[in-house]
Amino acid sequence: MAYIRITEDNIDKEHICCAMSNKKSDKKKEWLKDRFQDGLVFYRSEERGKCFIEYMPAEVAWHPLDADGYMHINCLWVSGALKGHGYSNDLLNKCIADAKAQGRKGLCVLSSARKKGFLADPKYLRHKGFMVADESDVGIQLWYLPFDDAAEPPQFKECARHPHVSETGPLLYYSDQCPFTYYWVPRLAKAAEEHGIAMNIIKIDSCEAAQSAPTPVTNFTLFMNGEFKTHEILSEKKLLALCQKESAGGSL
């Protein structure tokens, strides 16, 4: 399969994610445009958005990491119909080649012990030689693939390793790094308002804010009464169910 590199020159006319329409991915495209100058690379299959990889130097990644010298994979995704044909390997190999050409120590990526939505597949990572470098209190792990056995493993910053906030009630952090937040966050805000739920929503709009956020996953994280609840983007129904459960326990 042939692959297209998305750049400042072609991003306005190219599709970037097969799960979202072009209109719904506008915010994501704007986010990408601002990251190209930081060294972000985005490859997708020539066949419309069926698989892609997005990566950038870990020093400017939008997650709280101490991973200087590593290349961070923001996302590696292949649609179900195309799995098992080596396309993930193709894309990963492009990232490895770029990282080595830049003299990087290796790669790092967010995952978990068991497969979770919006995180890299640990089974695939293990197969490709990745190892767990660090783990947060909520089970989000930082995996890495060193190019030299002597390379110091990357780590989460303390705010990511121990995610917690002091605020009561539901608190949502999100960024435009994931195109799904453009669709779901306004709907969650509307549902909360309609049901009288005082939910605070904080948009992460800079690398500095992302790297100091109280969560290992800055694309989307919901806290409830100070505790990390989920990094997986919720529907209105799931949000209301979580709030109802907290309310039943006397917490809201």
In CATH, what number is assigned to the domain containing residue 238? 3.40.30.10
Residue 93 has pLDDT above 80, yes or no: yes
Residues 25 and 120 in one domain: yes
Cβ atoms < 10 Å from Cβ of 2: 7
Residues 172 and 131 in one domain: no
Domain end, chosen from 109, 135, 159, is at 159
Residues 57 and 138 in one domain: yes
Residues 180 and 152 in one domain: no
Q: Return the pLDDT at 18.
A: 57
Residues 131 and 196 in one domain: no
Q: Predicted confidence band at 23 (pLDDT cuts at 50, 70, 90)?
A: low
**Using CA atoms, how far apart are residues 142 and 64, in angstroms rounded to an integer?**
11
Q: Return the pLDDT at 9.
A: 96
Q: Predicted confidence band at 83 (pLDDT cuts at 50, 70, 90)?
A: confident
Domain end, chosen from 159, 180, 208, is at 159
Q: Return the pLDDT at 139.
A: 97
Domain, as residue range, for 10: 3-159
Residues 216 and 152 in one domain: no
Q: Predicted confidence band at 49 (pLDDT cuts at 50, 70, 90)?
A: low
Under a CB-based contact definition with an 8 Å cutoff, are residues 249 and 204 in contact? no
**pTM assigned to the model:** 0.94
Domain end, chosen from 123, 142, 159, is at 159
Please count the structural domains in the chain.
2
Tokens of 62: 């939008």
Average pLDDT, integer, range 110-137: 97
Residues 151 and 222 in one domain: no
Residue 22 has pLDDT above 70, yes or no: no
**Using CA atoms, how far apart are residues 13 and 20, in angstroms rounded to an integer?**
15
Note the pLDDT tens digit of each residue in 142-170: 999 999 999 999 999 999 999 999 999 99
Q: Predicted confidence band at 81 (pLDDT cuts at 50, 70, 90)?
A: confident
Under a CB-based contact definition with an 8 Å cutoff, are residues 239 and 189 in contact? no
Domain with 77 in it: what CATH number?
3.40.630.30
Q: What is the phi/psi pair of residue 84, to 5°?
A: 90, 10
Indicate the average pLDDT of the chain.
93
Note the pLDDT tens digit of each residue in 195-244: 999 999 999 999 999 999 999 999 999 999 999 999 999 999 999 999 99
Residues 50 and 80 in one domain: yes
Identify which of 191, 186, 185, 179 has the alpha carbon closest to the alpha carbon of residue 237. Answer: 191
Q: Return the pLDDT at 169.
A: 92
